[in-house]
Amino acid sequence: MSRRTADHESPLHTDRSHVKRGPNRADYDRDRVDQILDASLFCTVAQSIEGQPFATPTCHWRDGDYLYWHGHAKARNLAPGQPVCINVTQFDGLVLARSAFHHSVNYRSVTLFGQAEAVTDPDEKARQLERFVDKIAPGRWPQLRPMNGPELKGTGVSRIRITEASCKVRAEGVNDDAEDVDWPVWAGVVPLQRQWGTPEQEREQPVGLTPPDPVELW
Amino acid sequence: MSRRTADHESPLHTDRSHVKRGPNRADYDRDRVDQILDASLFCTVAQSIEGQPFATPTCHWRDGDYLYWHGHAKARNLAPGQPVCINVTQFDGLVLARSAFHHSVNYRSVTLFGQAEAVTDPDEKARQLERFVDKIAPGRWPQLRPMNGPELKGTGVSRIRITEASCKVRAEGVNDDAEDVDWPVWAGVVPLQRQWGTPEQEREQPVGLTPPDPVELW
């Protein structure tokens, strides 16, 4: 990752996307935002309906300047025309300090603001769903039984333009108060590791069919 | 996990917490809700400020009928007196079907609705922060340099009562259309595995200090 971008240098930085708490961990660098989005499969879409907030988890993918998510064609969180706030967070480890106050976690997080827009053109919707499958299992789409009309119609795809966003990252060791460093308790970082387990094949399958190569994406 | 609770049997089921999409995967069973909350460290708090939704990740813990989260004493997402929606999702694996449409993920998810309430009593706040540390590293709290007044004052704790909630779980294999089961592409589940890596000790420490026993919590 490159140096921290000064807030005023990035068009992603607005009053709404400004990170007030822990501003030293915040950035508004588009490359960093894209890196975190692309390395993650899950986001949480927040929306407000008559003042009632809703938080819905879903999968996302990116195409250039847009972040896409999908759902049942009638799913609430497609939110066409509504303001949304989307958060993506990857948890990377526990930070165990010598005081409770300095306990923390390492993480990479992106928060996006924008207005959701439905993808209605069937060809573009199919193209985006291909990009989605390609993110999870590159090269798998042409091997699949082709998508049919009712399936395409039954799947909703929304997007927001990435114009207003922040990322917040903690990727470091313990930050204890200077007077606490000799306090007699173990201190350090416990990293979280993730990997794909052994693929569990569904029923007997013809010889020669193999699971897709794993992608580092979760 | 026990049998699925019928919607009408649970007081957690309301118009607001009712799961419309994939209702066959939804449940309103309090024990299941608690299991998923207690097995997870992270939640996303959604709130609405003048119609603008915000989604903020944070850590949570539970004490009986209440879910707690914390933040900077002035953090927006403490949301005292505001309606919030809190989602907790654990991603358990990729489901690779023979058609794009039936691709899915295995997951465990809980969504809670309620009004956030600030924990203002210092003793109760300290007690809850002890519970929080105890969730991550049982037995660690008394070993730590004790929390001081300014630290306690600078830490905000909020809670909601668990009265309105749903859980949604997918924990199964591929559900292809019957006519697709011989389509020549590998199909199955790729489980996601998580574990703690080797603890990274912060600087030289006295002999005999050891990292806490790992808890299955992420």
Domains of chain B, each with CATH number or no CATH: 7-173 (2.30.110.10)
B23 contacts: CB under 8 Å, gap ≥ 6: none
pLDDT at B107 over 50: yes
Task: Tell me the C-alpha distance between B109 and B37, whole Å.
Answer: 9
pLDDT at A1 over 50: no
CB contact (8 A) between residue A101 and residue B147:
yes
Name the residue among A109, A98, A106, A86 with its Cα closest to residue A36: A109
How much of chain A, in percent, has pLDDT values that exceed 90? 89
pLDDT (mean) for B189-196: 96
- Reported as a pLDDT band with limits 50, 70 and 90, residue A134 is very high
Interface of B with A in 143-162 (CB under 8 A): 143-147, 151, 154-155
Bridge partners (DSSP) of residue A27 are A167
> Could you tell me the maximum CA-CA distance found in chain B, to the nearest angstrom?
67
Task: Tell me the C-alpha distance between B208 and B135, whole Å.
Answer: 23
How many CB atoms lie under 10 A from the CB of residue A211? Answer: 19
Backbone angles phi, psi at B162, to 5 degrees: -85, 85
pLDDT at B28 over 90: yes
pLDDT value for A3: 53
Which of B83, B89, B189 is opposite residue A200, by nearest beta carbon?
B189
Is residue B99 helix, strand or coil? strand
Interface of A with B in 61-120 (CB under 8 A): 71-72, 74-76, 83-87, 89, 91, 93-94, 96, 98-101, 103, 105, 107, 109, 111, 113
pLDDT at B62 over 90: yes
Record the tokens describing residue B71, joined without a space: 């933040």
Chain B interface test: which of A200, A207, A215, A217 (most B C-beta within 10 Å)? A200
The shortest C-alpha distance from B17 to chain A (Å) reads 10
pLDDT at A2 over 60: no
DSSP string, B114-145: EE-EE---HHHHHHHHHHHHHHHSTT-GGGSB
The shortest C-alpha distance from A121 to chain B (Å) reads 17
pLDDT at A127 over 50: yes
The shortest C-alpha distance from A149 to chain B (Å) reads 11
- Reported as a pLDDT band with limits 50, 70 and 90, residue B1 is very low
List of chain B residues whose C-beta atoms are within 8 Å of the C-beta of residue A151: 99-101
pLDDT at A68 over 90: yes
Amino acid at B15: D
Looking at the complex, does the CB of residue B178 fall below 8 Å from at least one CB of chain A? no
Bridge partners (DSSP) of residue B90 are B108
Task: Tell me the C-alpha distance between B91 and B78, whole Å.
Answer: 26
pLDDT at A64 over 90: yes
Tell me which chain B residue has its CA closest to the CA of residue A205: B186
Determine if the pTM surpasses 0.80.
Answer: yes
The shortest C-alpha distance from B105 to chain A (Å) reads 9
pLDDT at A114 over 70: yes
In whole angstroms, how far apart are CA A64 and each of A26, A43, A89, A137? 22, 17, 20, 19
What tens digit of pLDDT does each residue of B149-184 get? Answer: 999 999 999 999 999 999 999 999 999 999 999 999
pLDDT (mean) for B197-217: 90
- Reported as a pLDDT band with limits 50, 70 and 90, residue B214 is confident
List of chain B residues whose C-beta atoms are within 8 Å of the C-beta of residue A209: 184-186
User: First-to-last CA distance in chain A?
Assistant: 20
Looking at the complex, does the CB of residue B215 fall below 8 Å from at least one CB of chain A? no
pLDDT (mean) for A58-73: 97
- How many residues in total does chain B contain? 218
What is the DSSP pairing of strand A66-72 with strand B165-170?
Answer: unpaired
**ipTM of the complex as predicted:** 0.94
A76 contacts: CB under 8 Å, gap ≥ 6: A47, A49, A54, A56, B20
pLDDT value for B47: 98
List of chain A residues whose C-beta atoms are within 8 Å of the C-beta of residue B145: 98-99, 180, 183, 185
CB contact (8 A) between residue A107 and residue B57:
yes
What tens digit of pLDDT does each residue of B131-151 get? Answer: 999 999 999 999 999 999 999
pLDDT value for A207: 82
Task: Tell me the C-alpha distance between B174 and A218, whole Å.
Answer: 19
Task: Tell me the C-alpha distance between A145 and B192, whole Å.
Answer: 25
pLDDT value for B205: 85
CB contact (8 A) between residue A192 and residue B194:
yes
- Chain-centroid distance of CA A144 in Å reads 26
pLDDT at B92 over 50: yes
| B91 close to A41: Cβ distance less than 8 angstroms | yes
pLDDT (mean) for A167-186: 96
Q: Token pair 């590293």 is at which residue?
A: B137
